[in-house]
Structure 1
Amino acid sequence: MAKPLNAIAAAVKQFEAGNVIVNLPTERADEIGYLARSFLQMSKRLSSQVGDLQAREQHLQHLAHHDPLTGLPNRAMFQQVLETMVDKARADGSRFCLMFIDLDKFKQVNDQLGHVVGDQALQLAAMRMRASVRGDDLVARLGGDEFTILVRSFRHESDVTAMAQKLIHVFDQPFAVDGHEFEMTCSIGISMFPQDGKDGDQLLNAADAAMYRAKLGTRSRLEWFSDLSRSAP
C-alpha cells in the first residue's frame, strides 16, 4: 500500500514543480488506481488551463506593445526600445539613427477613398517598410500615417542615407487596394544619437523637424537634422 501512495505523492510534487508526471499506478483496479487516474486527469486539465492563461497573457502583452492595424510595434514599445538604445549608446559610446517617416498623400487617399481603403494602405505601407530594413532594425507606427525606424548600427552616415533612399524608392510603386490604384510616397527625417539629441525625446523631435523640412520640398525626400541645423541662421 505504501509504495503506490508514495508514487502518487511523488507525482504531486512533480506536478507542483511543472515536471511531467511519471510512474503513477493508473493500471491498478482498486481505489489506489482510481485515485491515480483521477489525479492524472485533473493534472492534465489544470495544465491545459494554465497553458490557455499563459497564451492569453502573451496575447495581451502583444496587444499592449503592438499596433492592432499593422502589427508593428506601437508608440509605447518604440519609446521603450528607444530609451534602452540611448542607455546602451551612453554606456559603450556607440551611435544609432532614428528615421521619422510621414506618408505623403495619405490624407487625400483616406478622404477620397474612405477609411477602409486608407487602413489597407497603411497595412501595405507597413509591409513595404518591414521588407526594406534589416532584421535588427525596429519599424514602429506612432499613429496615423507617422512611422519610425530605429537603425541600430551602421558604419557611415551614407549607409543610413542609402537605407532611407531605398525606402523612398520602394514607395515609388503605386498602391492597389480594392480596385483603386493610387500613389503614396513618403518623406523621411533622420537624427543621430548623440549628435542630435541627448535623450530619446530630443532625438525624436529632431527627426520630426527634419521630416517636416523634407515635406516642404518636393515630397518623397529625406532630410538629416544635422543639415537642417547647419543651414539655420
Structure 2
Amino acid sequence: MVGLISKNDESAYREEVQRLTDWCKDNNLSLNVDKTKEMVVDFRRTRGDHSPLSINSSSVEIVDSTKFLGVHLEKDLSWSLNTSSLHKKTQQCLFFLRRLRKAQLPPPILTTFYRGTIESILSGCITVWFGNCAISDRKTLQRIVGTAEKIIGVSLPSIEDIYTTHCICKATSNVADRTHPSHTLFTLLPSGKRYRSIRAHTSRLCSSFFPQAIRLLSKMGLD
C-alpha cells in the first residue's frame, strides 16, 4: 500500500490502512503484522515525527529499506542496495557462463544463456530504478556486461541501451493503450512529432520513467 501524507495530516492514510484491516477481517483473512513493514519517504527540509502504524493493537515496524517484486527500495530512493543485489546475482551467473565457455559451446548458445539469465536480471524493473541510479552504480552494472562480452567474444547491448529499449517499449505500449492510467501523460504537440514534456522541479522526477520516456519518444519522432 502507498499513501500520500500532506500538511502533516495522516488521517486519510491511517483510515486506508484501517479499511484494509477491516476488509481482511470481513473476508476471513489475517494480516501478519510481524511481516508487515512501513517505510517513510520524506524529502522535506524539516521532518516531523511519524507515529508508527498500529494493526490489531500491534505496532508496525518502520524500516529504512524493503523489497518489493524483487526490487530493493530505500527511503531516500537511492538504488545502491538494489545495485548490490543485482551485482551479486549476476556474478553467480557469470560463473556458469565461464563454465559453458570452457565446455567450448559456440557464441550463439552463450549469448542465449546470457540473455536468459544475466540480461534478464539486469533488466528487471529497469525502467523504475535505472534513471535515478548513481553513476558509480551504473558503472558497476556495465562491468558485468563487459565481462560477459569478453567471455562470449561478441558485442552485447550496454546497460544504457537495455534501459532505453525497455523505456521505449513500455512508453509505446502506454501510448497505444487508451485505457492505461498513464495514457494521458503522453500528449502530442500541435506539430504531431514531439510529445509535451512533463514539468519537473527536481532532478529526481526529471530522471524518472515518464519524463525520460517522453524525451525518448520525441527524439524518435524527430529522427
TM-score (norm 1): 0.25
TM-score (norm 2): 0.26
Greater RCO, CA 8 A, separation 6+: 1
* Greater share of strand: 1
